[in-house]
Amino acid sequence: MQQIYPGNQVKILDEAFLATSGLTSHELMENAAKEFVRWFLDQHFSDDTSVIIVVGAGNNGGDGYAIARLLCNHDFSVHLVEMFDSDDSLCPNGVLNKNLLPQDVQISHWKSFQFSDSELLIDSFLGVGLVGVLREETVEKINWINQFSGKIISVDIPSGLPSENGEFVQAVKATITVTFQFPKLSLFAPEYAQYSGDLVVVDIGMGDSIIKSEAFYIQLKDVIGLHKKFNRFSYKGDFGKVLIAGGSLGKMGALKLACGSALRSGSGLVYALVDEIGIPIIQTSLPEAMCLPHGN
């Protein structure tokens, strides 16, 4: 299981990891960019795919410059679009990664750039360091990004999305969000689902955090490890019994779904405890579930 953190703890976690690992912040950013590109290559996009990367002046933009360099090394056509006016506002890692770009990388300012038939846009504008209410100009930039008609992949978090319980104004509508090391809390808020899209978590080598969280992200590997394996001598008594109480006449939907979930997840025998006698819908739809009248 992976721990889930609100955005205001990300900087603390990064600083704690850098202090114990001996890595620099630029090396950690490089790890993040490499793992993003590793995931990107696993998606088997065509080499002739034109990739637009929008970058901000902060560390999220620094990630974008590093990703651009690495994608160029894999022969992708990359066009960088800067969402700020002057390099003077660039963070130190942003400056370093921009200086490492191949000379033939195209760079444009967002106000002079026109979307064409590019299939893919990587959103590396704003990250989890976002605080306060979005300024009017920032909302304008996010709305401009959302005009892109192709697939949008957000780096760490969709730009504009509060990384914790901040005031929401507008955010990039990502097709996929590729977040680093652990998912951020706001990526699980149902009201933001239309912005975060599909969630991918990539490991950037930070390991288990010394700061413990109260929320956890369960992955497929966690479930598989707990599931008992069947063999030809297995029978239902080997896989546990579940008693589910609830429902009443005419209101059996939730009970039916719960019974089905228990059976599908591997329970050997499922009992439904109901208030009324004789509810054939469960017995018919789920033959392995047994309906018992209340009190029996």
Are residues 160 and 172 in contact, defined by beta-carbon separation less than 8 angstroms?
yes
Q: Which residue shows structure tokens 């696993």?
A: 42
Kind and range of the H or E element at 219?
none
Average pLDDT over every residue of 103-109: 91
Are residues 162 and 185 in contact, defined by beta-carbon separation less than 8 angstroms?
no
DSSP tag of 190: G
d(CA 58, CA 99): 15
Question: CA angle, 40 as apex, 161 and 87 as ends, to 5°?
Answer: 55
Q: What is the pLDDT of residue 66?
A: 97
- For residue range 8-28, list pLDDT tens digits in order: 778 788 888 888 888 999 999
* Average pLDDT over the chain, rounded to an integer: 84
CB atoms within 10 A of CB 107: 16
The number of residues making up the chain comes to 296
Please give the model's pTM, rounded to 2 decimal places.
Answer: 0.78
d(CA 30, CA 91): 15
Kind and range of the H or E element at 248?
none
Least confident of 30-44, 102-116, 280-294: 280-294
CA–CA distance from 237 to each of 35, 72, 227, 260, 271 (Å)?
Answer: 44, 57, 15, 18, 13
Looking at the DSSP assignment, which residues form a beta bridge with residue 139? none
Three-state secondary structure call for residue 294: coil
